[in-house]
Amino acid sequence: MDETTPTGAGHGRAVVARVRIRARSRTEPHRASTPLELLFDLCFVVAVAQAGSRLVHALTGGHPGHGISGYLLIFFAIWWAWMNFTWFASAYDTDDVLYRIVTLVQMSGVLVLAAGVPRAFDDADYTVAVVGYLIMRLALTFQWLRAASGETGPERTVALRYAAGLVVVQLGWVGLVLLPGSLWIGGFLLLVVAELAVPAYAEHVRRTSWHPHHIAERYGLFTLIVLGESISAATVAVQSALDESAALDLLLPVAAGGLLIVFAAYWNYFAVPIHQHLTSNRQSFVWGYGHYAVLGSAAAIGAGIEVVVEQITHHTDLSARAAAGCVTIPTAVFMITVWAVHTRHFKTGLAQHLVLPIGALAVLACTPAGHLAVPLAGLVSACTVAAGVRPAASR
């Protein structure tokens, strides 16, 4: 069934509605992210912003355990749904009418998930969030069935395994909503393991034709968007404080330190050509899964800066040291995880390997400085960039 429509703006080729789709070439030249993928990412930023906002609310309200656990649960759903779409699109993005419509459905699911974040955090009611997640996953299941209808042999088996795995796990999420609260965390962790196992199970037969350059670019762009959300959150927090005529002598160093942290995070992340490392499923799975910590900590940096501003303006009972930890801890986590799953593959010599791990420890050591912790952490972050500039330039 074919239906020709106007030329697609994203790919510059005819947009054709078809039930069956075939995999794109892994060696396709000039493969880049599409405008549709970027729009998809922006929808996810709404959910990331909601999760960060509720994390700030929980931390400033004196409920760190509840806030951090809720943030980790919600961010997993956001990250995993984004990641699954990204890897599928890398192999099967045809940009036809039906593909665009199904992607729009997935975007709708993201927004439903975002709408359910406050209830999940405040009342431990995950019903709306799970419904949004199910919308995204069912749409992806349909895409895998489309792929199966257009493939033969091992490729068809892989697509059917993905579709079957998704259906089984989504039934688990439906059942999870019905469980009593005392069993929820255990059930959630079990389903997380099941979700992570689906790609390994499906691609055990044959690797899908994801494109290394495209995947590296997609992850890089989403990392930029999440870091941008941290800047936005910090800007709003500082602006709110200025509207109340809060002390500039404390706010300006926090704003400057936060900007240095984000800029250093950008520099360290993009210092290596990671697509050269993505040569097998084993390497790509470890790298891709590790981005849960990379992206989660990047988003948490902005939330931490908001907490520091709240402490300075006396809107929370947190101590200056505790508020500082809300910035230094995610900054340190970002550094160490970026090194572990991303940059270490291109470091040469012990000195270069130690830059980010030692930087992470130095950032944590800034925590007792209280109000000065953020600018100090910013300076430490800048030092990690300076230490890696010459080796990066020589590659």
Of the residues 202, 224, 257, the one at which a domain ends: 202
Both 318 and 192 in a single domain?
A: no
Structural domain contains residue 307: yes
* Region at 335 (left for phi over 0; alpha for psi -120 to 50; beta for the rest): alpha
Structural domain contains residue 288: yes
Alpha-carbon span 36 to 107, nearest angstrom: 10
DSSP 8-state symbol, 126: -
Both 228 and 309 in a single domain?
A: yes
Both 306 and 335 in a single domain?
A: yes
Both 262 and 300 in a single domain?
A: yes
Residues 6+ apart with CB under 8 A from 222: 41, 44, 82, 86, 295
Structural domain contains residue 332: yes
Both 104 and 227 in a single domain?
A: no
Both 107 and 57 in a single domain?
A: yes
The alpha carbon torsion through 261, 64, 226, 293 (nearest 10 deg) reads 90
Structural domain contains residue 342: yes
Both 128 and 242 in a single domain?
A: no
pLDDT at residue 219 in the model = 94
pLDDT at residue 1 in the model = 37
- DSSP, collapsed to helix, strand or coil, labels residue 15 as strand
Residues 6+ apart with CB under 8 A from 221: 33, 38, 41
The answer to whether the CB of 313 falls within 8 A of the CB of 258 is: no
Structural domain contains residue 373: yes
Both 229 and 337 in a single domain?
A: yes
Of the residues 202, 222, 249, the one at which a domain ends: 202
Structural domain contains residue 273: yes
- Owning domain of residue 51: 33-202
Both 126 and 145 in a single domain?
A: yes
pLDDT at residue 392 in the model = 40
Q: What is the CATH number of the domain that holds 352?
A: 1.20.1410
- Cα of 106 vs its chain's centroid, Å: 16
Both 147 and 278 in a single domain?
A: no
The answer to whether the CB of 355 falls within 8 A of the CB of 348 is: no
Per-residue model confidence as pLDDT tens for the chain (395 residues): 343 333 333 444 445 555 677 778 778 888 889 999 999 999 888 899 899 999 999 999 988 888 898 899 899 999 999 999 999 999 998 888 999 999 999 999 999 999 998 888 888 788 899 999 999 999 999 999 999 998 888 999 999 999 999 999 999 999 988 887 778 888 999 999 999 999 989 988 888 888 989 999 999 999 999 998 888 877 877 777 677 666 667 778 888 899 999 999 999 999 888 887 887 778 888 899 999 999 999 999 999 999 998 888 888 899 999 999 999 999 999 999 999 998 888 877 888 889 999 999 999 999 999 989 999 999 999 999 998 765 444 44
The structural domain count of the chain equals 2
Structural domain contains residue 16: no
pLDDT at residue 388 in the model = 75
pLDDT at residue 4 in the model = 35
Of the residues 135, 169, 202, the one at which a domain ends: 202
pLDDT at residue 103 in the model = 95
* 7-24: b (≥16 Cβ within 10 Å) or e: ebebbeeebbbbeebebb
Angle between the N-to-C axes of helices 35-60 and 212-243, in degrees from 0 to 180, rounded to the nearest 10: 40
Both 168 and 225 in a single domain?
A: no
Both 251 and 355 in a single domain?
A: yes
Structural domain contains residue 21: no
